Amino acid sequence: MTDDETTYDVRVHDGRQWHRLEAEAGANLRRLLLRHDLSPYTPWTENVNCGGRGICATCGVRLAQGPAPSHWHDRLAAHYGYPRLSCQITVDRSLTVYLLPDKRIWGKRATD
Ligand code: FES
């Protein structure tokens, strides 16, 4: 958390480098990423997605740690090891986010 109690640090790795963002408490992670030109989408899904409604799962990212999923689709993704749905994540703490530049549409399950 930064000095201002209502903002959080969000570190984002885009596959090549780190970016450090600040997010107001309650910010939507997908919108935050898009606003900073750090798209969670691929070229295939950039223009064909559900617009943040939690349906298409193309906005997936990995979190080093993060809030427990609250949306049914994000809950399933987290449970089965798929990328978390950035459109269903509310920034309520500092986050470390990994974009998935190698994914084609949804991204793969995590392997242990
Ligand atoms: S944008 Fe479709 S599930 Fe997130």
pLDDT beyond 80 at 3: no
Query: Taking all residues of the chain, what is their mean pLDDT, rounded to a whole number?
Result: 93
What pLDDT shows up at residue 109?
A: 87
Regarding the beta carbon of 58 and ligand 1, being less than 6 Å apart is answered yes
Domains in the chain: how many in total? 1
| CATH at residue 91 | 3.10.20.30
Report pLDDT for 34.
98
Residue owning tokens 């959080």 = 8
For residue 1, being part of any structural domain is answered with: no
Tell me whether residue 94 is in a domain.
yes
Q: What is the mean pLDDT of residues 31-59?
A: 96
- Distance from the CA of 56 to the center of ligand 1, in angstroms? 5
Distance separating the N- and C-terminal Cα atoms of the chain: 30
- 108 falls within a domain: no
pTM of the model: 0.92
Phi, psi for 10 (deg, rounded to 5): -125, 110
pLDDT on residue 1:
52
Q: Within the chain, how many helices (H) and strands (E) appear?
A: 2, 5
Pocket of ligand 1 contains residue 33 by CB under 6 Å? no
Q: Has residue 44 been placed in a domain? A: yes
